[in-house]
Amino acid sequence: MGGGSSNSQALRLGLWFRYWFGQRLAPYHGTPPHVARRMLQLARVNAADRVVDLGCGDARLLIAAAKHHGAHGYGVELDSDLFQAGVRSVQEEGLAHMITLEQRDAFTVDLSTATVVVLYLTVKGNSKLYPRLVQQLPVGARVVSFCWPFENLEPSSKTKADGIDVFLYEFNKVR
């Protein structure tokens, strides 16, 4: 019993450390399904795409990309419960051959083969990831962000879902 309580204290401390040292880019909130559809349309996702979700939660964006656009997906999630929920959903949807999930930090992902990156983080989270996105994404990759823009960057296009902005960026249109 005592072990359980000290375990949960250790877990809480661990989460705080992640915030303090900037590993956690955003708290969890799942993208509503119709917003997911709007994001994927704005990014022109198609069957040739490899969609990456940095902080994929329960993998709903990747599931929508695979189901409705035929795109392969890769997602990473720090939180183990959300990661497990994502793995279960992908299996339940019969999409394990199209979507790969890993429980790991978004900062460790190799983005060189991503053609679309989907984000629902924060302005600060986007800013932290920006250098990696610019350095690693191939020419022509699209980055779609629900709710939060990249600071001081003009999106290549923009729409609204539920009255909330959805931003599209094409950082590496040409090199």
Ligand X SMILES: C[S@@+](CC[C@H](N)C(=O)[O-])C[C@H]1O[C@@H](n2cnc3c(N)ncnc32)[C@H](O)[C@@H]1O
* Smaller CB separation from ligand X, 85 or 134: 85
Considering the complex, what minimum distance in angstroms separates the CB of residue 18 from ligand X?
Answer: 8
Specify the pairing of strand 72-76 against strand 99-102.
Answer: parallel
Q: Using CB under 6 A, count the residues that bind ligand X.
A: 24
Cβ within 8 Å of residue 119, ≥6 positions away: 53, 54, 55, 125, 126, 129, 143, 144, 145, 146, 148
Residue 146 forms beta bridges with which residues?
A: 166
Question: Does the footprint of ligand X cover residue 160 (CB under 6 A)?
Answer: no
Residue 45 has a CB neighbour count (10 Å cut-off) of 25
Segment 52 to 81, residues that bind ligand X, using CB under 6 A: 53, 55-57, 60-61, 76-79
Q: Which residues bind ligand X (CB under 6 A)?
A: 23-26, 28-31, 53, 55-57, 60-61, 76-79, 82, 105-107, 120-121
